Amino acid sequence: MGVVHGQEMVLNIGPQHPATHGVLRLQVKTDGEVISEITPYLGYLHRCFEKHCENVTYEQVIPFTDRCDYLASMTMNFGYVVAVEKLMDIKVNDRVQHIRVIMAELQRIASHLLATGVFGLDLGAFTPFLHMLRDRERIIDLFEMTCGARLLYNYMWVGGLSHDLPKGFVEATLNFLDYFEPKIDEFENLLGHNKIFVERTADIGIMPAEVAINFGVTGPNLRASGIKWDLRKDDPYSIYDKFDFDIPVGQGIKGTIGDSWDRFYVRLQEIRESVKIVRQAIDQLPKDGDVHQSMPKKIRPPKGSIYSRTESPRGDLGYYIESDGSDTPSRLKMRSPAFTALGVLDEIAGGWLMSDVLAILGSLDIVLGEIDR
């Protein structure tokens, strides 16, 4: 923490604290209410994900990926299986590809609903949180209908999926989207244009574009700083190049580009774009295709290494895998987008009041399961 001067005091926020979004300890140096320095302490949720992966087979890694970003388990599965398939040169059929995109984008909507709802809750807005949680439950119902699980899915497998879509899934999803689309405007009015919420977030915790780039920030946090970068468009994987959608960026509508309000607003706009992608994927969904068609009987990649990245709700999710030719990864490393987002906290939150620091932390949408691994 460095030297403490004059009336400065060192305080701990967390690890048992609702505003830290998990078991995170922030050691802050404060003079009254003004925070001069923030040091995050990690490791309270560490469970050796990468070391575990070196001691189980490639198939057995998938449930562990679920438990990293447990608010976006589908996209954690997606990133991993894409990496292994690239390493083994496995091509999956179009039906599998479309179903994966549908699930990943529904998961993005569910994750952003929780992120924006809890962000409002951090600032004292209780009602929008309940509304967003209600609609997130509808998505989780769709996941449960498909694979029987509500949080940790183990759904995307190397070469395919654990289950095909159940009867009635397409109709249920379209009914949900028809119900949900008008709600996005409601959420924007309820929270985004609320006078108190705007005063607590606009011009607070500004992250300039160069700071975001230097710290390796990705995803909605980077786009909120005005940089139009999304792997689904700029380095497409799966079949994202088949879909028409926009990349929302921060525009400084209520304050300055890259402030906490922009980070909230970009996520809300991304929900709209994910709805568009799901509609297109359902419209183009092939009726034929076995979801187990390309699954190898034994996953044993050739010797070599691969780095693959996908766009999770929190940003650039990377998997580096080294294979020695056996059925177990020789080395597996995961790049966590939330880790770099937390790394920028001291840079953008130093000098703000204690209450503002918690607002800035909430705007970054971190998940400790992914950071600690």
Is a pLDDT exceeding 60 seen at residue 2?
Answer: no
In a domain, 24, yes or no: no
What does the alpha-carbon distance between residue 67 and residue 147 come to, in Å, rounded to a whole number? 16
In a domain, 193, yes or no: yes
pLDDT band at 1; cut points 50, 70, 90: low
Considering the chain, what percentage of its residues have pLDDT values greater than 90?
Answer: 65
Q: What is the pLDDT of residues 72-131, one digit of tens each?
A: 999 999 999 999 999 999 999 999 999 999 999 999 999 999 999 999 998 888 999 999
pLDDT at 157: 93
Is a pLDDT exceeding 60 seen at residue 149?
Answer: yes
pLDDT at 20: 77
Give the position of tokens 């087979």: 57
The mean pLDDT of the chain is 91
Number of domains, the chain: 1
In a domain, 285, yes or no: yes
Question: Domain limits at 263?
Answer: 59-338
Residues 329-355, mean pLDDT to the nearest whole number: 90
Q: Which long-range contacts (CB under 8 A, 24 or more apart) does 322-329 make?
A: 323/87, 325/300, 325/301, 326/300, 327/57, 327/58, 327/298, 327/299, 327/300, 328/54, 328/55, 328/56, 328/57, 328/58, 329/53, 329/54, 329/58, 329/61
Q: What is the pLDDT of residues 298-316, one digit of tens each?
A: 889 999 999 999 999 999 9
Here the CATH number for the domain that contains residue 157 is 1.10.645.10
In a domain, 289, yes or no: yes
In a domain, 138, yes or no: yes
Q: What is the pLDDT of residues 22-77, one digit of tens each?
A: 788 889 899 888 888 899 998 888 889 999 999 999 999 999 999 888 899 999 99
Is a pLDDT exceeding 70 seen at residue 6?
Answer: no
DSSP 8-state assignment for residue 198 = H
